[in-house]
Structure 1
Amino acid sequence: MKKLGIIALTLFMQAFFAQTNRFVYQVTMKPDASDKNDIKTENAYLDISPEKSVFYSENRIKRDSIIQSAMQSGGARGFNRDQMENLRSIINYSVEKDKKNQKTIFKDRIGRDVYTYEEDRSLNWKILPETTKIGEYKVQKAETDFGGRRWTAWFTTDLPYQDGPYKFGGLPGLIVKAEDDKGEYSFDLMKNYKIADFPTLNQFGNTIKVKRADYVKQQKKFMEDPVAFMSQGGGPTPPMRMGGNSNPADMRKRMEDRIKEEAKKNSNPIELQ
């Protein structure tokens, strides 16, 4: 009986530590280059297992859940459009870190499609002696230059994960806080808990695998003329609600204005180069 008890305890401990750990970060952004007073804040998840980690928007998984429920209960008529509007996210990307192969995979929506690439730059951290306390964690300072910004990170060895939000990682502990020196982007750890497994992230549109340099080119094309970019690929245009007396030309004009306005509001990306 004693031996069976030890085996049961061992299996329980293995199952416990095999669980995925979710770290919730508050992401603060100034995405509009023409209006630095426009500050956006939303939460993002960093889910970590022994094999990989995934960083993505909390609103995204909530929207995916609503879409899935609506499709199961009658298609588009099942959507709560006000609820979907409240869950709009600036964080349209996800970052997956493959720990076994030491690869970072970035995915981002440009227009109707999802572009994905393997990060080809390394993070060269300078670990500094300065320490402080953030919340319940004793943290240490580190700095790096990445994506055209100077970043300061605070990591803790109390959480033994060499990981962090966005593409950040590779420090002796989990990154609790990261911010750029212009005060335009910051990530702050709010809480953490265990989840059973990674959720499935829905991918609408085509997934196009490219080199990072090609992704940057496509992103630039979209920012310069989003309507032309979305038209060049052919296929259906983004869905429009057509009322009984709606003029298709007017509807298209409103759609184009919305796309241009959204592109303008995201003119200060997290990576400048």
Structure 2
Amino acid sequence: MKKVIILFSLIMAVMANAQNQRFIYEYKFITDSTARDKQETETMYLEVASKGSKFYSKDYFQSDSTMQTMVAKDTQSLNINLGNFKFKGKIRYNIEKMYPDYSTNFFTTLGSDEYQVQENRKQNWKILPEKEKIGEFNAQKAVCDFAGRKWTAWFTTDLPIQDGPYKFYGLPGLIVKVEDNTHSHSFELKGSKKLSSGYEWKSTKDKERYNPLVTINEAKFKKALTDYRLDPMKSQKQMLAEGTIVEMRDSSGKVLDPVKASRDQETKAKANIKRQNNILELDLIK
């Protein structure tokens, strides 16, 4: 009995130390299957607190915070200067998992609409005997099928947190690496940092926004994504049709014709969507 109590105390101590911790992952991804040599990389944060975890892009979060500050200074007009501000980071979504049941919400935008997608799919992991050193951690192998891909993960019981990057969770230790079998998408732990003592976990759903957050399930989001990929400028066309004036400028500050600017944006958006044929969740576009 004494050994069990000591072991439990050790686990609780490790968990306490892991809370309010930022785990830093390197995300490597290929979103265009016709250009597999063009692999991209982004730094992602998994922040773990007692309430749950948040997973997001370091660069995009910093850009979004800067934009929110800029917008807060001028709430009377909507002037979009295309040359003045450029978002950093390619990954525009963020993911929240609430403990202890790991209910998962996916936050993303399509056009001018922001979505909260309630995730109901579970990862049915098969833990294998193979072990490997991943960075500084002793890790064990596990596999599963999820979101239209076959995944191999490596988890470490050195950090008994049943969480990981993206929507992955449910193994008896932190996932330190996970990659799909086509080597198109991979996340690997590169470091960690203790968050400040004043850190407060806040949900994305509670942030201030101009338009209401659209809360839907996976099936409805798949339809919304399909519609967006067919007509990425639909919401902006509706705004123009309703007489809403959105002033757009080029990098020199010259005011652009909204119809022509919208048409040019649509051409670029459709070309970009065509290249997004190898997204992480393949089952959304298949």
Question: What is the TM-score with the length of structure 2 in the denominator?
Answer: 0.79
2:130 corresponds to which letter in structure 1? Answer: E
Task: State the 1:182 CA deviation.
Answer: 0.5
SS of structure 2 residue aligned to 1:269? coil
One-letter amino acid matched to 2:152: T
Q: Which deviates the most, 236-245 or 107-116?
A: 236-245
- The residue number in structure 2 matching 1:64 is 64
Distance 2:105 2:212 in 1: 17
1:238/1:36 Cα in 2 relative to 1: closer, same or farther (>3 Å)?
farther
For the residue of structure 2 that corresponds to 1:23, the secondary structure is strand
What's 1:240 paired with?
248
Match status 1:225 vs 2:231: yes
Matched to 2:113, the amino acid is D
Structure 2 Cα separation of the partners of residues 51 and 248 of structure 1: 45
Structure 2 unaligned segments of length 5 or more: list them. 1-12
How far apart, CA to CA, are the structure 2 residues paired with 1:270 and 1:229?
25
Cα deviation, residue 72, structure 1:
5.8
2:271 to 251, 256, 261: 261
Equivalent position SS for 1:36 = coil
Query: What are the Cα deviations for residues 205-254 of structure 1, in whole angstroms up to 9, with x where unaligned?
Result: 43101111000111011112212365358775876216546444432222
Paired residue secondary structure (2:234): helix
Q: What displacement does 1:70 show?
A: 2.9
Q: CA deviation at 1:107?
A: 1.4
1:143 partner amino acid: V
Deviation digits for residues 19-46 of structure 1 (CA, Å, limit 9, x no counterpart)? 5110011111111244222211111110
Q: Contact conserved, 2:247 with 2:258, CA < 8 A, in 1?
A: no
Give SS of 2:282's match: coil
Are the counterparts in 1 of residues 126 and 142 from structure 2 also a CA contact under 8 Å? yes
Q: Secondary structure at the match of 2:233?
A: helix
Call closer, same or farther: CA 1:238–1:211 in 2, change over 3 Å: farther
Q: What residue in structure 1 maps to residue 140 of structure 2?
A: 140
What is the alpha-carbon root mean square deviation over aligned residues? 3.0
Q: Measure the CA separation in 1 of the matches of 2:212 and 2:274.
A: 24
What amino acid is the match of 1:257?
A: T
Q: TM-score, normalised by structure 1?
A: 0.82
2:45 corresponding residue in structure 1:
45
Q: Which runs of 5+ in 1 are unaligned?
A: 1-12
Where do residues 73-84 of structure 1 align in structure 2 (5 Å cutoff)? 84=85
Q: Distance in 2 between matches of 1:55 and 1:106?
A: 10
Q: Is the 8 A contact 2:247 2:255 kept in 1?
A: no
Percent identity between the two aligned chains: 36
| Deviation, structure 1 residue 130 | 0.3
Q: Given the superposition, is the C-alpha separation of residues 44 and 69 from structure 1 closer, same or farther in structure 2, using an over 3 Å criterion? A: same
Q: Which amino acid aligns with 2:141?
A: K
Question: 2:88 & 2:262 partners in 1: Cα distance?
Answer: 21
